[in-house]
């Protein structure tokens, strides 16, 4: 007789979250070999951690005492400050360069137990579920979150032990009291994370073209004369950026991720260098912000090109930029 396996939609921890201290649960994603990334089931471990200052490392305490170093955190143009031991203290989770594929420098952990990133995402279609393992027990999560975990599993920061706060897994969704308390703390949790990490969804048809266009706009058209330069370029050659690129961009900005109020609040708690993941591709929030800014200033012109390309495939345009 086959053994019955209880597969849960919500993870129920063995004990309630400590409500007295500054405690949260965090997910550790078990890494696998590169050839198994797309096939091996997702395995995670969930543990409770304390965010109190008393758990800071000595190095991070010294860093916090340096007012100049604190200012460097949000200034991507400023070179990293270094402690006498050679640790790059002012460049934790800093974007190393802008370009086709953004690179990040991994920071040191702030806490004695390690450190964490807070995932900003949407749950996705609740009818499309995938099974993962949490602390050795099967758990059903949405297809969108499973795709995200599969991508995160390939990242260096995951392989090096960085943990993640993911509401669908870290909060006992069946415990109404805990859920209410954690929702009230979400701003604090995202603020205390080293950075939010944004997942706008998996790679789809046209994603590469859309992201390439965003990078081009952010790097080549964000100067003072960017509006005039962009409109001039399009008037001279409507297909300058490639056939179908505006339709692809519209698909990106119409994704479900951008349609939730709390998502905008989570993004606001990030920095210019906050990583944005679309499938296996990583950009930074600053590139999106720069590109969206130039698009907003040229919305009438850009909407015309988006409308044309949508009409070519019998779709209508609902402006969201």
In tens, the pLDDT along 223-233 reads 778 788 888 88
In tens, the pLDDT along 12-66 reads 666 777 766 789 999 999 999 888 888 899 999 999 999 998 999 988 888 777 7
Residues in the chain where the model's pLDDT stays below 70: 1-14, 19-20, 67-107, 261-270, 299-301, 303, 305-306, 308-321
Q: What is the pTM of this model?
A: 0.80
Order across the sheet with 163-165: list the strands.
Answer: 137-142, 129-134, 43-50, 23-29, 163-165, 116-120, 196-201, 275-278, 281-284
In tens, the pLDDT along 188-216 reads 899 889 888 999 999 988 899 999 988 88
């Amino acid at each position: 007789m086959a053994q019955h396996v209880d597969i849960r939609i919500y993870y129920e921890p063995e004990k309630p979250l400590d409500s007295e201290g500054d405690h949260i649960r965090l997910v550790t994603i078990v890494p696998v070999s590169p050839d198994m990334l797309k096939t091996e089931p997702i395995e995670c471990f969930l543990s409770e951690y304390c965010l109190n200052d008393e758990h800071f490392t000595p190095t991070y305490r010294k860093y916090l005492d340096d007012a100049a170093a604190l200012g460097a955190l949000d200034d991507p143009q400023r070179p990293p400050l270094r402690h006498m031991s050679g640790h790059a203290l002012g460049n934790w989770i800093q974007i190393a360069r802008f370009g086709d594929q953004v690179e990040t420098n991994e920071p040191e952990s702030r806490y004695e137990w390690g450190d964490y990133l807070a995932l900003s995402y949407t749950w996705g279609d609740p009818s499309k579920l995938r099974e993962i393992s949490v602390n050795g027990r099967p758990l059903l999560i949405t297809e969108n979150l499973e795709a995200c975990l599969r991508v995160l599993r390939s990242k260096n920061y995951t392989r090096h032990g960085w943990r993640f706060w993911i509401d669908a897994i870290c909060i006992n969704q069946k415990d109404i009291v805990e859920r209410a308390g954690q929702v009230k703390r979400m701003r604090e949790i995202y603020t205390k994370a080293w950075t939010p990490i944004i997942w706008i969804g998996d790679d789809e048809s046209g994603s590469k073209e859309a992201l390439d266009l965003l990078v081009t706009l952010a790097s080549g058209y964000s100067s003072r004369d960017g509006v005039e330069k962009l409109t001039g370029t399009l008037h001279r050659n409507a297909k300058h950026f490639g056939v179908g690129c505006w339709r692809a961009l519209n698909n990106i900005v119409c994704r479900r991720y951008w349609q939730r109020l709390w998502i905008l609040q989570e993004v606001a708690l990030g920095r210019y260098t906050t990583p944005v993941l679309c499938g296996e591709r990583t950009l930074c929030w600053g590139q999106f912000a720069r590109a969206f800014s130039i698009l907003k200033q040229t919305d009438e012109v850009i909407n015309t090109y988006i409308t044309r390309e949508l009409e070519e495939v019998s779709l209508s345009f609902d402006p969201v930029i």
